[in-house]
Amino acid sequence: MSRKTQSVSVKPDVLEWVRQSSGLTPEEASTRLSVSVSSVLRWENGERSPTFKQVQKMAKVYKRPSAAFFLPKPAKERELPPDFRRLFGEPREFTSKTLLAIRKARYLQAISSDLMVNLDHETDVDARGANIRINPELVADAERDRTGISTEKQKAWKSFSEALNKWRQYVEERNINVFQFSMELDELRGLTLMDATPFAIVLNSSDLIQARIFTLLHEYGHILLHEPALCTPVDPTTKGHGQHFETWCNRFAAAFLIPSESVKEDCSELGPSAFVRIAKQYKVSSFAMLTRLVELELISRLEYEQRVTELRHRSVDKRRSGGGGETSAQRARRERGEGFVSLVLKNSEREHITYSDALDYLDIKTKHMKELTSPM
């Protein structure tokens, strides 16, 4: 005779918190859990308790450890950075996919801090501060000089992927984690996490690579200003309360990636109409190049608007979330970055963490560890 499955003792408000913080409505949760909406609501108002198997299934669906369901009360989660493109006080709602990416980034940020302390490394950012009253062109010029990367080297890079890796390496050398996770593109292009050290920049791997390059430097601008932010798709009808920060960071990123004197020489030689060719040389998007040209008054506002309209009509969605056919080691490098991977490997070598911990932090299989320890 089979025993009836016993329910478990869980706090109703904890169940509600776990679901809501995962970005799921009761209807979405019921579908994924294969239970009725009324069952979900009864669990959350304390009328009924789920079984242990149901809690295990919730853990998988909500992407949470099982232990989270047995907390005595909902955990207080750190607030998200502000979204300067939205009106002050407007709430920002994200789907489960985007919320999961943010939770992953926060988890890895905390792990990174522990790993750096184990190796006696400083966790504070190694970046010069900036002020929004300072011309972003000047800040970008000084920061670009600090990289030691000339425009000739930049143009010699073979692909957008190489360019992203080079700029990412520079930012990581400043004690800043750069993570890449797939998020809903109409919700978030990137964000900065500055409420703990080391700071972290999160890029949306669903975005075009050339867009990610710009977002990386835009977010770096937020770190220089010490103004963390969520970078959401631009809504031209909305003026956020902190739009001046976004404008400054856009101008900083453009000036950093497309130095004025260099692009003026290119336009003098090739002509502004060759903006697509020039953009490919600098490994930036055609939209970014057009914006830079109109800022530098190398093209008129009318020509800019005409060119942008043409680009939008011709554009084909080439976004990829990444990951097709890659090993878990390759995914670890893409998502977590060389800086984080190196920290984990050094901690493992010095036995500050177990081999099992290393596999967990990198989210890789044992057979792919050798691939990570081999020179690229």
User: In the prediction, which pLDDT does 8 show?
Assistant: 87
User: In the prediction, which pLDDT does 236 show?
Assistant: 44
Bond preceding residue 91 cis, omega within 30 of 0: no
Alpha carbon distance 49, 45 (integer Å): 10
Average pLDDT over residues 341-351: 95
- pLDDT single digits (tens) 171-187: 999 999 999 999 998 88
User: In the prediction, which pLDDT does 200 show?
Assistant: 96
Task: Reply yes or no on whether the pLDDT at 238 is more than 70.
Answer: no
Alpha carbon distance 127, 149 (integer Å): 17
User: Of 157-166, 326-335, 336-345, which gets the smallest average pLDDT?
Assistant: 326-335
User: In the prediction, which pLDDT does 368 show?
Assistant: 84
* pTM for this predicted structure: 0.85
Q: From its phi and psi, is residue 363 left (phi > 0), alpha (psi between -120 and 50) or beta?
A: left
Contact 228, 222 (CB under 8 A): yes
Average pLDDT over residues 70-83: 80
Contact 345, 374 (CB under 8 A): no
Q: What is the DSSP letter of 229?
A: -
Let me know the angle formed at the C-alpha of 284 by 82 and 97, rounded to the nearest 5 degrees. 40
Q: Which domains does the chain have, with CATH numbers?
A: 12-70 (1.10.260.40), 98-257 (no CATH), 260-313 (no CATH), 328-373 (no CATH)
Buried-exposed string 274-284: b where 16+ CB fall within 10 A, e elsewhere: ebeebbebbbb
pLDDT category at 88 given cuts 50, 70, 90 is very low
Task: Reply yes or no on whether the pLDDT at 76 is more than 90.
Answer: no
Residue type, 33: L
Average pLDDT over residues 61-89: 76
Token duo for residue 149: 């990367």
Alpha carbon distance 179, 199 (integer Å): 11
pLDDT category at 87 given cuts 50, 70, 90 is very low
- pLDDT single digits (tens) 255-284: 999 999 999 999 999 998 999 999 999 999
User: In the prediction, which pLDDT does 113 show?
Assistant: 94
> Where do we find the tokens 């990444």?
322
pLDDT category at 1 given cuts 50, 70, 90 is very low
